[in-house]
Amino acid sequence: MTYVNSSATVARGVTVKINGVAIAEILDEGIPKPQTTTEDIEVTNQDSGDWKEYKAGRKDGGETEIKGHAVPSDQGQIDLAAAAAAGSTCLFRTDFPSGAYSSFYGTVKTFDTYAEGQILVFSSKVKISGAPTFSTSLSALTTPFFSAANSTSVFPTAAGTEGTYVINFANGTSSTKVTPTATAGVIQVDGVTVASGAESASIALTAGAIVESTVTVQETGKAPGVYKLLLCRAA
């Protein structure tokens, strides 16, 4: 009889994000694959006999590749290329349809575009920094979630659901501070740790322009939640 009760999870419809922004048209072989290794520390001594002795040293998340069809207008690919040019360390998260998440911080080393067969593709090499995580739970901000000093409106209404939020300001407002709230985890605003309920550093606003700010929250044992705030000062 044919076995038909596999519990395997199908990884179709996977989304890969850089700092909360989805990267378009990732190929199967282009989904990032953290491969952890452990350093070997030799401790062989005169009492070891005929066999060498070792202890486990530091762990390394390795280097991974993100690859997909090249879409020059895609914001995720634009952000990935910019990170490579600057040598930036970014938050990467892979969202699986099953509700699982794989995440890590990584330094973007390369971004190349070339023809493969008859298709234009991109490839980016990322060196993983720190420990990669795999989780079926997502970190989230809690009530009142976040606010921005001197703002006139927020759309959609601030919530625990991660995503993109547009925050509007009057023309006379030249700067703001973001105040995030979470009952657990580490909160960062633009990469700087902020205590729950405390204001971030001042963020300058430009009349008629959009300034992007990123809020992340990382709870122990959970994937990081990412909130993109588009700060819009009236012209």
The pLDDT tens digits of the residues spanning 47-60 come to: 999 999 999 999 99
Range 171-190 average pLDDT: 95
Task: Kindly give, in sequence order, each residue whose CB lies less than 8 Å from that of residue 107, ignoring residues fewer than 6 positions away.
Answer: 87, 88, 89, 126, 127, 129
The pLDDT > 70 percentage for the chain reads 99
Whether residue 228 has pLDDT greater than 80: yes
Integer Cα distance of 21 and 164 in angstroms? 9
List pLDDT tens digits, range 135-151: 999 999 999 999 999 99
Range 157-183 average pLDDT: 94
pLDDT of residue 160: 87
Q: Decide: helix, strand or coil at residue 8.
A: coil
Whether residue 183 has pLDDT greater than 70: yes
Whether residue 124 has pLDDT greater than 80: yes
List pLDDT tens digits, range 79-118: 999 999 999 999 999 999 999 999 999 999 999 999 999 9
CATH class of the 15-43+53-135 domain in this structure: mainly beta
The confidence band for 134, taking pLDDT boundaries of 50, 70 and 90, is very high
pLDDT of residue 1: 61
Structure tokens, 220:
């122990």
pLDDT of residue 3: 66
Range 221-230 average pLDDT: 94
pLDDT of residue 165: 95
Pairing assessment for the beta strands 210-218 and 225-233 based on DSSP bridges: antiparallel
Task: Kindly give, in sequence order, each residue whose CB lies less than 8 Å from that of residue 52, ignoring residues fewer than 6 positions away.
Answer: 42, 44
Backbone angles phi, psi at 27, to 5 degrees: -85, 160
The confidence band for 161, taking pLDDT boundaries of 50, 70 and 90, is confident
- Of the candidates 146, 163, 135, 179, the residue with the CA atom closest to the CA atom of residue 20: 163
Q: What is the DSSP letter of 168?
A: E
Residue, of 62 and 8, whose pLDDT is higher: 62
User: What rounded mean pLDDT belongs to the chain?
Assistant: 94
Whether residue 63 has pLDDT greater than 70: yes
Integer Cα distance of 161 and 40 in angstroms? 42
